[in-house]
Amino acid sequence: MDLQSAEKRVNELKRLLTQYGYEYYVLDKPTVPDAEYDKLLQELLAFEEQFPQLKSEDSPTQRVGGAVLEQFDKVEHRIPMLSLGNAFNEQDLRDFDRRIRQAVGDEFSYVCELKIDGLAVSLRYEDGLFIQGATRGDGTIGEDITANLKTIKAIPLRLTENISIEVRGEAYMPKRSFEALNEKRKERGEELFANPRNAAAGSLRQLDPKIAASRKLDVFLYGIGNPEELDIVSHSAGLDYLDQLGFKTNNERKKCATIEDVIKFISGWTEKRPHLPYEIDGIVIKVDSLEQQAELGTTAKSPRWAIAYKFPAEEVVTTLLDIELSVGRTGVVTPTAILEPVKVAGTTVQRASLHNEDLIREKDIKLGDKVIVKKAGDIIPEVVNVLADQRTGEEVDFHMPTHCPECESELVRLEGEVALRCINPKCPAQIREGLIHFVSRDAMNIEGLGEKVIGQLFAEKLITDVADIYKLTREQLLALERMGEKSVANLLAAIEASKGNSLEKLLFGLGIRHVGAKAAKTLAQEFGTMEKLSSATKDELIAINEIGDKMADSIVSFFEQEGASELIQELVAAGVSMEYKGAKPVSAAESDSFFAGKTVVLTGKLERLTRNEAKEKIEALGGNVAGSVSKKTHLVIAGEDAGSKLTKAQELGIEVWDEEKLIEVLN
């Protein structure tokens, strides 16, 4: 067969296989036998082998899994993947509803969706072609798992429209796939996966895509990252549009006019949950209107217009064998219950936090007690209460120690606190925990330097403070257990890369009391350099929005310590950046720009700037870029194919510019 005839047949095979795959994996309505599909796929593989130039990225043959990867690359999400706040009971839901009404009035509706228990993923398409898939990661930075996601047959490799779009969803392992996988692992004598969520996450983080392909994962898409660019006006309309594009969405969703309807929907699925072919751990409730979502806004971590109702946790009975004490990086001594191993919500639980001495007294917990255990939010094990009527008389009272279990220093209870605290700055446990915090994802994010490796390095006295991390050598690391040439090289590269982090990462990593990740970024933006921040007065600090008295006192006290100054000098000598590298926001009061204090909406396709570039430039000049047009909007920038937002702006008499005018004013 000549090339032209082969190309014609290949295109026909791709069309048929894509159609049959969509009918089988998305609609769950196969129209041909499996044998027919397999026969056509083998024919396509044969053509692509004979004519390699006809192989394309959207070919169904790309789903079998390609070459083994060396590692996952990092991906910065263009639009952050925020997590959701949680509701655990009816009162939480009514409080959420009250907050919504106070903000937008009574004219709104909700969309309720099943909360799939899997791994959140982001998919990017350019001109209709799937080009990249990533994990959620920390919401800002994820991992590129494109090769593994291509093996999920419900993910279209090409959309029904040639558009550029970013979508979000949940990759999961169906119950049937999970049971089959564990059966195979059992036969091979391998450790079983605890639940389908862990199995899905483990499958998508395999460096060999063929392993991911063999696990038979699935996906549901639940949102569009950039709906305003497509002139979509509601969440429900966005889900319908995903269906049109060929994505698989979950049909068990419902628009609800009131919180009563929401509660009724939740009640129904609480009963029907066990009969689903996949695991769910709750119901997600979202305000439907995107304009109202924009009005409600977000916090640093989660949207104010959505909440996740978590199903009541499974409760089981076990025996409390002992209480173990641990010392955190701030010196707080935390008691942990050691339990007779028991299965809770799909995983084996042997430990549960008891928080503090007051809780132990309040619940009258004794060693040897029969206790009820559950997982708060299906995640964190906790002791609910004691079965006092089952006591035998052999149970033993527990008393918190008077001295630190790590360094023997006397413990104190600070005024207004319930926790016992070790205040010895040289306490080994606090130093070790501080090191673990410093290298964590939200801080310096040094991959490969986890809790176990830090523990080894600390035990060998190779590191005693965070500056020592930057003095580690190849020879020292190779001497550690389970550290080979490749892992050492990767770790040293990660340590070197962390030197270039922006100031807020370092600030958060230093563990200054009361300074979280958000406050660290605010401080870094405001002062720009470690030198300026370290010399700031309390008055200068509390003048900053979000910085209160306690935090200001803590920051001033930290930098007044002689050891802090020495540590920072060591980090400077090691080449660690002391500067903020992000864009510094400009307030309306500081800017004399046209955009200062104005709310701007971008709509349609821009030719010379990307949406993000335009947004950053406007915000850098003191403007605020919103996602929808309202009476509060001052200006609309309309690119090509501008739709309903432009129409609404014209109806409201709002000023409209084209891209040329925007660039002219920006310049």
Cβ-based neighbours of 660, under 8 Å, separated by 6 or more: none
The rounded distance, in Å, linking the Cα atoms of 384 and 376 is: 10
In Å, how far are 103, 152, 371, 382, 489 from 322, measured between CA atoms? 49, 45, 12, 14, 41
CA diameter of the chain: 89
Rounded CA separation 602/633 (Å): 11
Number of H helices, E strands in the chain: 24, 24
Radius of gyration of the chain, Cα coordinates, nearest whole angstrom: 28
- Round to whole Å and give the CA distance between 362 and 379: 23
Between the alpha carbon of residue 437 and those of residues 298, 554, 581, 640, the distances in Å are 26, 18, 22, 48
Question: From CA 647, how far away is CA 640, in angstroms rounded?
Answer: 13
Residue 515, class by beta-carbon neighbours within 10 Å (0-12 exposed, 13-18 middle, 19+ buried)?
Answer: buried
Pick from 5, 161, 137, 4: nearest CA to 75: 137
C-alpha–C-alpha distance, residues 634 and 113, integer Å: 35
C-alpha dihedral (490, 496, 500, 504), degrees to nearest 10: 80
DSSP state at residue 52? G
Segment holding 306, helix H or strand E: strand 306-310
Long-range contacts of 532-540 (CB under 8 A, 24+ apart): 533/507, 533/559, 534/559, 534/564, 534/565, 534/568, 535/559
Residue 340, classed as helix, strand or coil, is strand
What is the distance in angstroms between the CA of the first residue and the CA of the last residue of the chain?
58
From residue 154, give the alpha-carbon distance in Å to each of 159, 170, 392: 12, 12, 56
From 8, 14, 74, 115, active-site residue: 115
Is 115 a catalytic site residue? yes
Residue indicated by tokens 């499996």 = 34
**Backbone φ and ψ of 324, nearest 5°:** -105, 145
By three-state DSSP, how is residue 376 classified? strand
Whether 463 and 457 have beta carbons less than 8 Å apart is answered as yes
Q: Where are the beta strands (DSSP E) in 4-43?
A: none
- Partnered with residue 130 across adjacent β-strands are 125
SS3 441: coil
Nearest Cα residue to 490 out of 446, 538, 529: 446
C-alpha to C-alpha distance for 204 and 150, rounded to whole angstroms: 10
The residues assigned a catalytic role are 115
